[in-house]
Structure 1
Amino acid sequence: MNQLRDNLKKLGLSPNHIFQLVKDSIGEDLAGGEDITSVATISSSQVSTADFTTRASGVVSGLHVVAAVLEYCGVTHYEVLVDEGAKVAAGKVLITAQGNTQKILLAERTALNFLSHLSGISTLTSKWVAEVEGTKCQIRDTRKTTPGLRTLEKFATRMGGATNHRLSLSEAALIKDNHIVAAGTISAAFTATKKMFPGKSLEVEVDSIDQLKEVIEFKPDVILLDNMSVQLCQEAVAIAAGKVRLEASGGLTIENAKAYANTGVTYLAVGSLTHSAPALDIGLDFRKGK
């Protein structure tokens, strides 16, 4: 367990958070009872060896979360065979576990849910990153994450090669259209935020070139170009002239990612990395006769 804690910390993950997620997930699966199918069909003393194996190629992440699931369920003999963020082909064995058969089966679905979901995010992210390769633009995630899984999902985007946007509302300020409406003006919203939280990074969302020209004068850390066309992003980059970083958001697809990246913006903010990534097909198979 101590080694697992160290591994999670090295990956930028909180061991206590991961262990609580695992505890809650197994608790949800058992619902106060037991795995009646396994208890009825398998001897409590039976021991097996099982492999977590990819059934499709992709970029894998969440391997050490699987390790946490296995350990919580009482399966302490396992080996993680690939690195987090590794690109693997179909048929690759990622983790081998040996132990009580009932306990491996208890861990199976929760482990696969985490592993397939996170690997799906890393795989999709890697495709976006590949699309903008050769430009100076970075793919950046958003807060459009599954409640309770944000740190893991943002970990998965990092493993896919993306850059994290703010992890929480308290980490950095992002003045959006509703803040501007509520405050009255962009100037009022910016001034109030800068005064109250002078040490925090501050980003402002604009939806027109006129707003961009106004905001540039305030010298925010980043300006978010909301739902602007490629042509408008090019114009915005020319106006900013390197004075401020620009981030394009809205209307982005993997097909037009390169065109947006070539405008010269610093970031593409892509919500679909976390809210629409399909799971990577990964299975758990017992070795026959073992």
Structure 2
Amino acid sequence: MLTAGELDAFFEEDLGDDDDSNGIVPAVEALGQIICKEEGVLAGLEEACAVFRHLGLSVGSDLVDGQPVRKGDIILEARGSARDLMRGERLALNFLGRMSGIATLTAKCVGLAPGVRVAATRKTTPGFRKFEKKAVKLGGGDTHRYDLSSAVMIKDNQIRIMGLENAIREAKKVASFTKKIEVEVESLEDAEKAARAGADIIMFDNMKPAMIKKGVKIVKSVDERILLEASGGITLSNISEYAKTGVDVISLGALTRDARWLDFSMDIQL
């Protein structure tokens, strides 16, 4: 949910202290229509509507977040002061463009990896993470961790400092029984060690599909209940190969890092 405080901060950033660009626009009654300029998956509609309502405008839409949209579709209509329509335009378009771009890329990846969860990472824009993660979910993906407190993630640096088995042992001492422990491994030997040490999830990091297939067999021979994840260097061009390795989850920083904004524009009629 986009809070009033967040909206105030976003408007402060975008409008500044002396917005003469829109200050010169008369406060006459007008209708603003946001139009989709290309095909994709809609996300950010809820936020765009909140932007205009925060300015006291009436807003309506026949669409919902998560549905496919085409070029020429009217995403929403806002009615009220022309000045306030102009003030909310860029912020609303930014939400729609960024979030729809992520949802669209996520949906493409999900379609190429049937039977496997496609997840995001923490490679997100500071201050905008919850909206980017929401867009992943709207595109049919999995949000993964929202923050470091969502799960225990033991990665290469923890392993270098503490050792793999010791890191897992210490995590089991301090983490709640409700919190899963995930271990990132870069070799088949470490995958087996993590499985025998009691990891709940094992992530194969920057491994080729052929090696991951071997890792899946090794880990499942130790404990079939362990969830398996592939990550690192995975893109639209190779995700299908990773989906055939037997992992349960594929996580991609590309969902938020490489997503191209979807194009929207606003037309105003008096």
TM-score (norm 1): 0.89
Correspondent of 2:202 among 223, 227, 238: 223
Q: Which residue of 2 is the match for residue 48 of structure 1?
A: 30
The reply on whether 1:152 has 2:131 as its aligned counterpart is: yes
> Which letter does structure 2 place at the counterpart of 1:262?
K
Correspondent of 2:152 among 153, 164, 173: 173
Correspondent of 2:107 among 126, 134, 143: 126
The reply on whether 1:26 has 2:11 as its aligned counterpart is: yes
Output the CA distance in 1 between the equivalents of 2:212 and 2:89: 47
Output the CA distance in 2 between the equivalents of 1:247 and 1:218: 17
Output the CA distance in 1 between the equivalents of 2:7 and 2:80: 19
Q: Which residue of 2 is the match for residue 193 of structure 1?
A: 171
SS of equivalent residue, structure 1 residue 106: helix
Matched ranges for 1:83-162 at <5 A: 83-133=64-114, 136-162=115-141
Output the CA distance in 1 between the equivalents of 2:233 and 2:71: 32
Deviations 1:138-197 (A, max 9, x none): 1010000000111111000000000111111111110001011122x1011111111011
The reply on whether 1:280 has 2:265 as its aligned counterpart is: no
What displacement does 1:55 show? 0.1
Residue-pair matches, total:
266
CA contact (8 A) 2:38 2:263 kept: yes
SS of equivalent residue, structure 1 residue 255: coil
What displacement does 1:198 show? 3.4
Q: Percent identity?
A: 33
Deviations 1:26-68 (A, max 9, x none): 111221223x12332x323x11111111000000111111111
Correspondent of 1:210 among 189, 193, 205: 189
What displacement does 1:21 show? 2.5
TM-score (norm 2): 0.95
What displacement does 1:227 show? 0.5
Output the CA distance in 2 between the equivalents of 1:162 and 1:268: 10
Q: Which residue of 2 is the match for residue 7 of structure 1?
A: none
> Which letter does structure 2 place at the counterpart of 1:283?
S
CA contact (8 A) 2:120 2:133 kept: yes
Which segments of 5 or more consecutive residues in structure 1 lack a partner in the other structure?
Answer: 1-12
Output the CA distance in 1 between the equivalents of 2:131 and 2:5: 13
SS of equivalent residue, structure 2 residue 38: coil
CA contact (8 A) 2:229 2:248 kept: yes
Output the CA distance in 1 between the equivalents of 2:64 and 2:118: 22
Output the CA distance in 2 between the equivalents of 1:118 and 1:20: 20
SS of equivalent residue, structure 1 residue 198: coil
